């Protein structure tokens, strides 16, 4: 890391904070490597190897987001109360057990149970990790950069996952589940041994109940969270719709994992430029609005794909939207939240995303049960993106949200410590 990066990192909260940030980003890489060994191939595996119908697959995949909600709220609260290290590790180990279970069991009700268990594990792990990153990157500009770096680390893991599953592990086989579980076990061990105990430089404190009530008086955060449900409902469709379309049109549907690899490489190469050109220069609501148009375009274009390259193009269109949407959402939440309760804020945010993902996967499963050759699901996804984009653009002119974001920018400007996107290049 360069000198500017070290100077900022050592001022961000935890002692020797550059080291914990590297551990956290390494954990993000491992978690996405483990997850995306499974995600692109799970619908295909459940259909071809386990004999599940498309409607059943949609229901199985919808289970994780529901317990993800409870795990996120619990994890966010426990992270602020006990510290983040333990919650990150425990969540990783729970998810490892669930992923192994998908490969081990054969019954529909056990897949439902593993989906619920996986959601709990990820719910404990994810908000604690994001809260730790937000705590280290305490200034507004630093947060945008830090979450962009998180996105890059995540997509390095995703890129490696596609290559590993297709060229080494042979596609949709039971082996990918056990290897993925092993990576999550490793993630838990690394987090437990290498992250600081407790809450960093200061002791963890119990947050009074009235402080939680105050969160729901934050109109900007509440409304943004409600709109986020719609965003996640649409965003989650790619992991279900693209593999099922690939299973219909590709002679080797296992090749679909390579699409995630290409998408991840695109993010690694372009995320910093996208953040610099768009996320950091235009209003967050405009960035989200444009991002949703790309996401809708990517999903809708899957209908016209007839081969691997068509699916690859659809994935690339979608990923441009993801680069606009995901870091902007994380950075916006970290700005609307409070430092003392940042874990709770991210817990609520992950609860909201779980609601959206659960509803999206259930609805997507029902739509796709009409057949991937039917225009209905793809048209629905496209029109949904247009509506959500319009809502986000209109929020640009909503005074409570603008006031909250302006107050944060003003405070950062007065301190003279606003970070630039060049500070965390290493």
Per-residue b/e over 75-84, b at no fewer than 16 CB within 10 Å?
bbbbbbeebb
Q: What is the pLDDT of residue 416?
A: 35
Residue 196 resides in a domain: yes
Q: Give the pLDDT confidence of 339-379 residue by residue, as tens digits.
A: 566 667 776 787 788 789 889 999 999 999 999 999 999 99
Pair 401, 227: CB distance under 8 Å = no
Pair 324, 278: CB distance under 8 Å = yes
Residue 10 resides in a domain: no
Q: What is the pLDDT of residue 144?
A: 63
Pair 95, 122: CB distance under 8 Å = yes
pLDDT category of residue 415 using cuts at 50, 70 and 90: very low
Residue 409 resides in a domain: yes
In percent, how much of the chain has pLDDT > 70? 82
Residue 425 resides in a domain: no
Q: Which of 277, 287, 380 lies closest to 327 in space, CA to CA? A: 287
Q: What is the pLDDT of residue 215?
A: 76
Residue 181 resides in a domain: yes
> In which domain, by residue range, is 389 found?
16-415
Which of the 8 DSSP states describes residue 217? T
* pTM score above 0.85: no
Q: What is the pLDDT of residue 91?
A: 94
Domain count, the chain: 1
Of the spans 65-79, 250-264, 274-288, which averages the highest pLDDT?
A: 250-264
Which residues lie closer than 8 Å to 418 by C-beta, 6 or more apart? 139, 140, 141, 412
**What CATH number does residue 283 fall under?**
1.20.1250.20
Which residues lie closer than 8 Å to 220 by C-beta, 6 or more apart? 336, 400, 401, 403, 404, 405
Backbone CA torsion sign across 397, 327, 142, 86: positive
The arithmetic mean of pLDDT across residues 177-181, rounded, is: 95
More confident of the two residues 170 and 58: 58
Q: Which of 111, 269, 133, 260 lies closest to 191 in space, CA to CA? A: 133
Look up residue 254 and give its two tokens.
């296992």
The arithmetic mean of pLDDT across residues 116-124, rounded, is: 91
Phi, psi of 12 (to 5 degrees): -100, 0
Mean of per-residue pLDDT scores for the chain: 82
In percent, how much of the chain has pLDDT > 90? 42
More confident of the two residues 176 and 404: 176
Residue 421 resides in a domain: no
Residue 8 resides in a domain: no
């Amino acid at each position: 890391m360069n000198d500017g990066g070290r100077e900022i990192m050592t001022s961000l909260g935890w002692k020797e904070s550059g080291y914990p940030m590297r551990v956290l980003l390494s954990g993000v890489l491992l978690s996405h490597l483990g997850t995306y060994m499974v995600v692109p191939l799970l619908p295909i595996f459940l259909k071809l190897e386990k004999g599940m119908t498309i409607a059943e697959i949609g229901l199985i995949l919808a289970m994780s987001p529901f317990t993800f909600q409870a795990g996120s709220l619990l994890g966010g609260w426990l992270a602020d109360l006990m510290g983040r290290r333990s919650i990150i590790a425990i969540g990783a180990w729970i998810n490892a057990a669930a992923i192994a279970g998908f490969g081990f069991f054969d019954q529909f009700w056990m897949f439902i149970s593993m989906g619920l268990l996986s959601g709990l594990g990820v719910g404990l792990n994810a908000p604690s990790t994001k809260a730790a990153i937000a705590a280290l990157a305490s200034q507004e500009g630093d947060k945008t950069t830090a979450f962009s770096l998180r996105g890059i680390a995540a997509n390095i893991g995703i890129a490696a996952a596609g290559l590993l599953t297709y060229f080494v592990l042979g596609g949709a086989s039971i082996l990918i589940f056990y290897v993925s579980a092993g990576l999550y076990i490793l993630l838990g061990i690394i987090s437990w041994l290498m992250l600081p105990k407790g809450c960093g430089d200061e002791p963890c404190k119990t947050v009074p109940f009235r402080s939680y009530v105050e969160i729901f008086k934050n109109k900007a955060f509440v409304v943004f969270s409600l709109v986020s449900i719609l965003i996640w409902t649409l965003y989650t469709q790619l992991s279900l719709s693209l593999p099922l379309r690939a299973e219909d049109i590709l002679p080797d549907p296992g090749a679909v994992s390579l699409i995630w690899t290409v998408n991840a490489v695109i993010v690694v190469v372009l995320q910093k430029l996208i953040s610099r050109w768009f996320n950091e220069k235009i209003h967050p609501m405009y960035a989200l609005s444009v991002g949703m148009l790309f996401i809708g375009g990517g999903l809708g274009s899957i209908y016209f794909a007839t081969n691997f390259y068509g699916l690859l193009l659809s994935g690339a269109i979608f990923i441009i939207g993801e680069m606009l949407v995901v870091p902007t959402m994380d950075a916006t939440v970290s700005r609307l939240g409070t430092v003392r309760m940042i874990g709770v804020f991210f817990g609520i945010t992950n609860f909201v995303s779980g609601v959206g993902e659960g509803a999206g996967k259930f609805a997507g499963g029902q739509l796709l049960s009409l057949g991937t050759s039917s225009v209905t699901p793809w048209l629905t996804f496209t029109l949904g993106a247009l509506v959500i984009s319009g809502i986000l653009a209109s929020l640009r002119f909503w005074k409570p949200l603008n006031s909250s974001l302006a107050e944060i920018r003003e405070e950062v400007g007065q301190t003279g410590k606003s970070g630039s996107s060049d500070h965390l290049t290493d």
